[in-house]
């Protein structure tokens, strides 16, 4: 049976959801944001970065910004291999 575009999209969304639920999360302002840790460095989403920058006057936001080494698109957070992330950290 051939997969339709909708079936492929649904499968991709399910995999992303599963990755989101199984990864570690940072909490800020009552919301949780996914992150990965590679070689002791935290990688989080650009969405979190934007929120933290909006609340830069808050000490908790500044502390989180200092903790996170790299921000990327949410899709990339779940799809980039650790090797690719290392290439970003150590060009």
pLDDT score of 78: 87
pLDDT digits (tens, 9 = 90+) for 37-83: 999 999 999 999 999 999 999 999 999 999 999 999 998 998 889 99
Q: Which residue has the higher pLDDT, 9 or 47?
A: 47
What would the DSSP string read from start to end of the chain?
-PPPHHHHHHHHHHHHHHHHHHSEEEEETTEEEEEEEETTEEEEEHHHHHHHHHTTTSHHHHHHHHHEEEEE-HHHHHHS-HHHHHHHH--
Give 22's pLDDT tier (boundaries 50, 70, 90): low
pTM as predicted: 0.74
pLDDT score of 18: 56
């Amino acid at each position: 049976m051939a997969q339709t575009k909708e079936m492929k999209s649904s499968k991709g969304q399910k995999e992303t959801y599963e990755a989101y639920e199984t990864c570690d999360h940072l909490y800020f302002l009552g919301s949780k944001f996914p992150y990965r840790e590679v070689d002791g460095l935290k990688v989080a989403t650009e969405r979190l970065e934007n929120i933290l920058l909006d609340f830069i006057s808050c000490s908790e936001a500044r502390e989180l910004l200092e903790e996170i080494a790299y921000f990327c698109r949410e899709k990339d957070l779940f799809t980039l291999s650790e090797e690719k992330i290392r290439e970003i950290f150590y060009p």
